[in-house]
Amino acid sequence: MKEYNSEILKVVHTELEMVDMESCNISIEEAESMINFLNDCLEKMRSYFLSLNSIDSSDEICFFKEIKPEVLGFLLYFNKVHTIELKCPNGSNDTLKSYYENEQESLTYFFERNIDFYQYYRSKSTYLDEHYFLRKKKSYKLCIDSVHFIMDKYFSTGYDYKVAKIICNEMLRIYLNKKMHQIEKQIIINKNRSSFPVSDLKWTGPLIALVELGYGFDSSKYVNRGKADIKEIMIGLETLFNVDLGEYYRTYISIKDRKMERAKYLKIIIENLLRRIDEDDSS
């Protein structure tokens, strides 16, 4: 069973490489293709799983806690992306921003409804695994949703779906954050069109170096007499250097987590500048 699980996940990840998972511009056609592919994978997994004469408890827990939710999580994700983009209104950037904000709020609703299970899963706890991820151990004393009663009792414990939803929502959160950043970036550019001229410059250094530079500008209050916020500064750098800094605030967190040389790339810039000055002085 472990070999089969490993093989099916390998097939899934190979197919996922055909889609730019880092992008927030997944097309409706790409989403449809992945929905069909992942749905077929789940059907094959179900046929294989139900063909087994016996399953060790630890294998069953692993399957419903890790293997199936990963595939189902991707399926739910692409299905939701497909729905979001299909229903996306044609309108101004403000209209789009409001639309995607509503989608973000729906993620919060699921989180609040399932906070206990979310904490259990995220903390990598195992003490309730037999109740959550074994079919014969399903307990109605635990808080369950109505959807559990219409699920395939031979191929689901109900909580494998919740794990898949958590995985799906984590990806959706990133997707929607990127959508929002893209829209907010365009709003700021439109508002300050003269301040953001078309540039042919390309940033070829590490993205984290540009993030350090942006936070350095913000901390030093060097832009617009200190009135520009970090979002405006980052969008300015992205526009100037034709680059996407993504979730730069997360990059900043990784910078803060460094044990040594927190401003690593700014230090390199300073060292290179001083070296150049010394070389110019000696020539």
Furthest-apart CA atoms within the chain: distance in Å: 82
Q: What is the DSSP letter of 198?
A: -
Dihedral pair phi/psi, residue 89, rounded to 5°: -75, 150
For residue 134, the number of C-alpha atoms closer than 13 Å in the C-beta half-sphere is: 14
pLDDT value at position 97?
93
Looking at the fold, whether 206 and 126 belong to one and the same domain comes out as no
**Of the listed ranges 7-21, 115-129, 181-195, 214-228, the one predicted with least confidence:** 181-195
pLDDT value at position 149?
53
Looking at the fold, whether 174 and 204 belong to one and the same domain comes out as no
Whole-Å CA distances, 67 to 2, 63, 120, 160, 280:
10, 5, 18, 9, 61
Residues 67 and 9 sit within 8 Å (Cβ to Cβ): yes
Pick the last residue of a domain from 187, 213, 247.
Answer: 187
- Residues of the chain with pLDDT > 90, as a percent, come to 64
Looking at the fold, whether 170 and 210 belong to one and the same domain comes out as no
Instruction: Report pLDDT digits (tens) over 130-179.
Output: 999 998 866 555 555 556 556 788 899 989 999 999 999 999 999 999 89
Which residue reads 């979310």 in tokens? 118
Of 194 and 225, the structure prediction assigns the larger pLDDT to: 225
CA dist., res. 132 & res. 159, Å (int)? 6
Looking at the fold, whether 40 and 159 belong to one and the same domain comes out as yes
Domain total in the chain: 2
CA dist., res. 254 & res. 208, Å (int)? 9
CA dist., res. 133 & res. 121, Å (int)? 12
Looking at the fold, whether 273 and 145 belong to one and the same domain comes out as no
pTM of the model: 0.76
Q: How confident is the model at residue 197 (pLDDT cuts 50, 70, 90)?
A: low
Q: How confident is the model at residue 21 (pLDDT cuts 50, 70, 90)?
A: confident
Which residue segment(s) compose the domain that 232 sits in? 193-282
CA dist., res. 253 & res. 106, Å (int)? 26
Q: Mind giving me the DSSP string for 82-149?
A: HHHHHHPPPS-HHHHHHHHHHHHHHHHHHHHHTHHHHHHHHTT--TTHHHHH-GGG--TTS---GGGG
Torsion over CA of 121, 127, 129 and 132, rounded to 10 degrees?
A: -80
Instruction: Report pLDDT digits (tens) over 44-97.
Output: 999 999 999 889 999 999 999 999 999 999 999 999 999 999 999 988 989 999
Residue type, 34: M
Looking at the fold, whether 245 and 158 belong to one and the same domain comes out as no
Nearest to 101 by CA among 15, 181, 19: 181
Of 112 and 149, the structure prediction assigns the larger pLDDT to: 112
pLDDT value at position 193?
64
Mean pLDDT throughout 184-205? 79
For residue 181, the number of C-alpha atoms closer than 13 Å in the C-beta half-sphere is: 22
The yes-or-no verdict on residue 278 having pLDDT over 80 is yes
Residues 234 and 214 sit within 8 Å (Cβ to Cβ): yes
pLDDT value at position 60?
95
pLDDT value at position 142?
56
Mean pLDDT throughout 24-35? 92
CA dist., res. 12 & res. 167, Å (int)? 15
Looking at the fold, whether 73 and 154 belong to one and the same domain comes out as yes
Looking at the fold, whether 230 and 175 belong to one and the same domain comes out as no
